[in-house]
Amino acid sequence: MRRTAVAVVVAAALFSASMISRPKEPAASAAAASPHLLFNGGFETGSYKPWSMPQCANYGNPTNNATRAFGNFNLVSDIVGEGAYAARFDLPADPTHLTRCQVITKRPVNAGGDDYYSLMFYLPKGWTTGITPPQFGVIIAQLNYQGLGPGSPNISLIAFPDHVTLVMATGITTTTGTPTYQFSSNADVTTRYVNLPKLYAVPPGMQLGVWHELIIHAHWATDSSGKIDAWHRIKGRRAWQKTASLRGYPTLEENPDGSYPPTTIDMIGAYRMRSAAPTSVWLDGFSRSGSFAAGAAHLP
Q: What percent of the chain has pLDDT over 70?
A: 87
For the chain, the domains span 30-297
Q: Outline where DSSP puts E strands in 123-262.
A: 138-145, 155-159, 164-173, 181-185, 200-202, 211-219, 227-234, 241-247, 253-254, 259-260
pLDDT score, position 1: 36
> How far apart (Å, rounded) are the C-alpha atoms in residues 61 and 202?
32
If we measure between CA atoms, which residue out of 68, 71, 73 comes closest to residue 49?
Answer: 73
> How far apart (Å, rounded) are the C-alpha atoms in residues 165 and 138?
10
Q: By the 8 A CB rule, do 8 and 271 touch?
A: yes
Amino acid letter, residue 6: V
pLDDT score, position 35: 60
Whole-angstrom CA distances from 142 to 7, 57, 96, 300 are: 12, 20, 23, 23
pLDDT score, position 191: 81
Q: What is the pLDDT along the chain (300 residues), one digit of tens a residue?
A: 333 333 333 333 333 333 433 433 333 333 344 468 999 999 999 999 999 999 999 999 877 777 889 999 999 999 999 999 999 999 999 999 999 999 999 999 999 999 999 999 999 999 999 887 777 899 999 999 999 988 899 999 999 999 999 999 999 999 887 789 999 999 998 887 899 999 999 999 999 999 999 999 999 999 999 999 999 999 999 999 999 999 999 999 999 999 999 999 999 999 999 998 999 999 999 999 999 999 999 999
pLDDT score, position 238: 94
Amino acid letter, residue 165: T
> How far apart (Å, rounded) are the C-alpha atoms in residues 234 and 206?
10
Q: In the CATH hierarchy, which top-level class contains the domain 30-297? A: mainly beta
Instruction: Give the 3-state DSSP-derived string for 19-42, with helices as H, strands as E and coil as C.
Output: CEECCCCCCCCHHHHCCCEEEEEC
Q: By the 8 A CB rule, do 141 and 119 touch?
A: yes
Q: How many CB atoms lie within 10 A of CB 249?
A: 21
pLDDT score, position 13: 32
> How far apart (Å, rounded) are the C-alpha atoms in residues 277 and 129?
8
Predicted structure pTM score: 0.88
By three-state DSSP, how is residue 62 classified? Answer: coil
Amino acid letter, residue 39: F
* Per-residue pLDDT tens digits for 139-183: 999 999 999 988 899 999 999 999 999 999 999 999 887 789 999
